[in-house]
Structure formats: structure tokens, C-alpha cells
Structure 1
């Protein structure tokens, strides 16, 4: 392998490394453990863009690391993504993931939760077996802790039926839940795996880019192509997520519309009337809230890339630094 791997080659290498670390159903000594192995491989085998792993690899290459040093770290990051998604789908009662039924919808919550726990253990095993530095391990600790903290914020807001939230609350929550592990951690881990102290700008710029990524995901949840998006369209409304789009709409809606929307969002997913969900979906599109979120995401992308560009273009391997910028642009400027 060379430092000139294409994005498709990087994705394939990360996925192969990841799958090689997981149990093989055909080698299982009993049917129950064959099922266990299939469950662990389910989300990873569904694919995905692996943007986080790619970002990590290209950043590491830009700072002088070899691909063989970076693959176990990138695979561990993708394993984190997979077990976190299994748990997230359970917590949100989601129906779909990557275009198929969520794991707990197929096998039930107890078995899906157990599979997520097993993938979590595999994440740490990959890192320990690769002999990564303490700095890399501590960065993984930080990204797990921040993601859990952000998830806690979001779940308690829904559990306690909070509607007094402002845009700043959303940005704080999503910065912890999604932005850090989406952009900050991959950038920092790439440098750390190369034995380099990450530039300070990686955190501030990465947060802007990661938040922009999540806002675009919120937008796609309402306007995306179901065949490409891979998750349930309007699932955030069924689940009652406090997105930037929803908060902007509520702050600008008439008193009657706000009351109607809040009443709907307080109803459990199973009891929400589909016509009311469709009404709120249309009002979010018509009100300008989606357009506002799209503009916010674009601004964050522009600011984040502007902060990173001078640093990455002067990295030890500047041509690969330019590829990091290309991967980052695909985080926000995407259709699904």
C-alpha cells in the first residue's frame, strides 16, 4: 500500500481490517454463536461511507504515518461508530439503519444491546493489539465520554419534554454527541497515530465541521432520498428530536402552531398520529426552518475549512493534506 490510496481503496482497506477482527459465523462451534457472529458483522457489512476512518487515515498520512499504522486505529473508530449506532437505534426506537431494519428490530433489544457491547470490547482490543500510544487510547476515552454526555443531554430533553431550548443548547449537545467523534477525533487521532501533537486548530475547526455534518443529517432526515439516506425519513419527528430545524421553527411559529407541534412531540412514537406528523413535516419545510439550517451548515463548513486549510496545506505531505480537505468537504456537501 502507498500513500496515494484512493478513497475507495481506503474504505475497502478499513472495512477489511475491521471484518477480519470480527468472529466468522462459519467457524462457530454452535448455532447460537454463529448468530452472535452474524450480529456483530451486520452493521459493518452494511457498509457506509466510512468518512471518519478515511479522514483519520488521510490526516495520518499527511503527517508522515504509514498506512499499516493507521488501519487499526481507523478500524477501531469505525467499530465505535457501529456499536454506538446499535445503542443509539435502541435508545431512539429507530426503525432503520443503512437502508435495512435496525438490529434490534430484527433480533430484539437484549441481543442487539449485547452485540453492541461486544463491538465496544473489540474496539479496545484492536487498539491494544496494535500497540497504540497512550495518547491515542486517551483520545478514544474522550470521544466515548463526550458522545455519551451529548446523548444524555438529548435523551433527557425528550424524556422531560423540554421546549425551552435555544440554538446554543442544540449546538452544545450536538457538539458533544456527534461533532467531536465525526471530525475532531479523526483529525486528532490521525496526527497522534503519526506521533505528532495535533495542531490546536483541529478542535475548533473540527467542531464547526462536525456540527455542520449533523445539521445536514437533520436536513436530510426531512428532505433526503429514502433510497440514499438509509434511515427513516422524518424519523426525527417520530422520535421527538430537538434539532436546530425544530427549535428554529418553534421560536418563530404562531402560538397556536407551537402549541399544536409541542402537543404532538409529547406523544410517544407508537401513539403519534401519522397525519399530525405529516403536518409538522410540511410546516418545517414551508416555514424556512430547513433553509435556515442548510445555510447554517454551509457557513460552518466554510469557516471550518478556512481554519484548517493553511494548516493542512503546510503539513509534511501537503498533497495528502489537500485530500483531507476534500474528505472534509464531503462531510457537509452531500446528498445522503
Structure 2
């Protein structure tokens, strides 16, 4: 399925230009899509379509594939911009696009992929999808703004509720809620209102797991640099919980490093902070919170899918989200 979605995405992108530099630009458009990825969100959309009665090979399935391609293109253009905003070094085992070609060029590539995403929306021919995708972009941008604004202002006087609001906006809508809703719409069904509450809980669990993996995961499985969140000054549930209990000297050292730009941070001190976090109970606290949110979201989802046309596919959808909420890589 990943190959089929990649082929659909590439079919929208120009292959060869009238000028060598435009051919180079077109290669850049295809760079992040070709790097692959787990395809979690697009697979979730297709699983939702199956649960709502869409059969593979049908006309509705073709529309579902185009909507899954929308999610893939959205993910890739957002990641290009996200890597710039976070000053990231790598993406999926290779240098981030702006590291290869510079920030202005990478921004333009992301903008172009955004436009081609809307071409995929048009190909899907599901009228209600336009509003869903627009809402997904709005919510994700709001969450990203909170995240970036805190970094820009050096804001660490935050509560756990602040973090949770940010991740629900930044992660939950495009990771869970909108894929679930689009899967229903492509089947001609009205999305269950409970998808939103379930998705908020499951999206929160997913993001917290991602935050944990950024500290304890394996780079070759995780797809991003381990410890990158510390270098980027990310506000996570782990760090906020740790700060509320940290010794004053450690807290002072941490805040001193976080006031610095990424290139000015000390690798040795960041390694110490990384160790302090791992040795504290904050990682376990975050994991426990994610487990609780994941269970709550799955219970809500099971109830929402109780009358689905395809019970077997609905059960598989729940299993997929259970894996997502408890992911280990």
C-alpha cells in the first residue's frame, strides 16, 4: 500500500522541466515522499474506510486512496517546514531538506507540496473532504504556533495542561481525528462525533510516546535524532514534570542551556540533562499518562465503531490504534 500511495503522490508531481534547475526542483518535491516513513495516518484513514464498508477495488476505495495520498502529502510538506522551524539536522536517516539545499529553497519546496496536496483533494472527489482537510491544517498550525512561540519566548513557566492543549491541536487532529472522519466520509457515512474525543486522547498518547522515544528510542527505528527534542528546546510532558521536581542546581543548568541557540548548547551538558531525565521518574510518569489516555481513547473508539458495517475491519482499526498508542519505535 505504501508503494501505491507513493505512486499516486508522484503522479501529481512534475517529472522533468524545461530548464535543468526546474528538473532539480522537481526532484526536491519528491525527496521526502520517496524517503518513506511509517504511513501511520494514511493507513488509519484506509482502515477507517474499510470499517465503514468500503471494499478494496471499488470506486469508493479509489477515492479513499486519493484521500490517503492527501494525508501523505500533508505530512511531507509539514515536515519540511517543521524541520526548518526546529532547526533539525536529519529526517528519516538523511540530512533535512534545508540542510541539503538551504532554508529559502526548502520553504518553497514545502509550499509547492502543499499546493499539490490540494490537487489530491480534488482527485478524491469527496466534497466534504475539503472542509476536513482545511480544519486539519488550521488545528495543526495552531498547535505548532503554541510550540514555536514557547521556544521563541523562552517560556518554561508552563503547566501540563498547556502541553496537552498544544499536542491535541498539533498532533491529534491530523494523526487520528481527521483520518477517522475522512474514512467515514469516503464511505458516504456521517462521521461519529465520538471520533473527536477518542482522537484527542489517542493523539495525546501517540505524541507522549513520541516524546519518550526521542529520549530512549533507537535512531535507526525512530527516524529522527535521539535527544533532538532537548537540542530544540521542546516542551514535553516529561520535561515539565521533571522541572516541577528537579533540584535547583539541575534546574538552573537546564534553563541556562535552554536559553541558548541550538549550536551554542553544550553537547556534554545536554548529555547530562538527558541522563537526569532518564534517571528521574518523569519518563515513567509520562508513559503512565499515555497508557491511561490510550485506554480511554480505545474505549471511546470501540463504542463509536460498535455498529460499523464491517466488524472485522473495525476490530482491525482498533488494533491499529492500540499499536499506535503503545508504540515502541
TM range (shorter): over 0.9
1:55 aligns with 2:44: yes
Give SS of 1:165's match.
coil
TM-score by length of 2: 0.96
Kindly state the Cα deviation for residue 330 of structure 1 after the two structures are TM-superposed. Answer: 2.2
- Give the corresponding residue for 1:18: 9
Q: 1:73, 1:126 within 8 Å by CA — same for their partners in 2?
A: yes
Give SS of 2:244's match.
helix
1:280 aligns with 2:273: yes
CA deviation map 1:133-185 (0-9, x unaligned): 1x210111111011111111111111111111011000000110111110111
- Give the corresponding residue for 1:235: 228
Distance in 2 (alpha carbons) for counterparts of 1:247 and 1:131: 44
Distance in 1 (alpha carbons) for counterparts of 2:33 and 2:323: 21
Task: Decide which of 203, 207, 226 is 2:200's aligned counterpart.
Answer: 207
User: Structure 2 unaligned runs (5+)?
Assistant: 55-59
Distance in 2 (alpha carbons) for counterparts of 1:109 and 1:295: 38
Q: 1:150, 1:174 within 8 Å by CA — same for their partners in 2?
A: yes
- Give the corresponding residue for 2:18: 29
Number of residues of Structure 1 aligned to a counterpart in Structure 2: 324
Distance in 2 (alpha carbons) for counterparts of 1:273 and 1:93: 16
Give SS of 1:252's match.
coil
Distance in 1 (alpha carbons) for counterparts of 2:130 and 2:136: 10
- Give the corresponding residue for 1:292: 285
Q: 1:58, 1:324 within 8 Å by CA — same for their partners in 2?
A: yes
Kindly state the Cα deviation for residue 313 of structure 1 after the two structures are TM-superposed. Answer: 4.1
Distance in 2 (alpha carbons) for counterparts of 1:327 and 1:12: 19
Task: Decide which of 123, 126, 131 is 1:138's aligned counterpart.
Answer: 131
User: Structure 1 unaligned runs (5+)?
Assistant: 1-9
Q: After the TM superposition, which parts of structure 1 deviate over 6 Å for at least 4 consecutive aligned residues?
A: none
Q: 1:313, 1:322 within 8 Å by CA — same for their partners in 2?
A: no
Kindly state the Cα deviation for residue 239 of structure 1 after the two structures are TM-superposed. Answer: 0.6
Distance in 1 (alpha carbons) for counterparts of 2:278 and 2:82: 26
CA deviation map 1:39-87 (0-9, x unaligned): 1111110111111001111111221233112011110111001000000
TM-score by length of 1: 0.94
Distance in 2 (alpha carbons) for counterparts of 1:175 and 1:101: 28
1:197 aligns with 2:172: no
- Give the corresponding residue for 1:96: 90
- Give the corresponding residue for 1:250: 243
- Give the corresponding residue for 2:110: 116
Distance in 1 (alpha carbons) for counterparts of 2:53 and 2:14: 32
Kindly state the Cα deviation for residue 311 of structure 1 after the two structures are TM-superposed. Answer: 2.6
Q: 1:245, 1:292 within 8 Å by CA — same for their partners in 2?
A: yes
Kindly state the Cα deviation for residue 263 of structure 1 after the two structures are TM-superposed. Answer: 1.2
Q: 1:100, 1:230 within 8 Å by CA — same for their partners in 2?
A: no
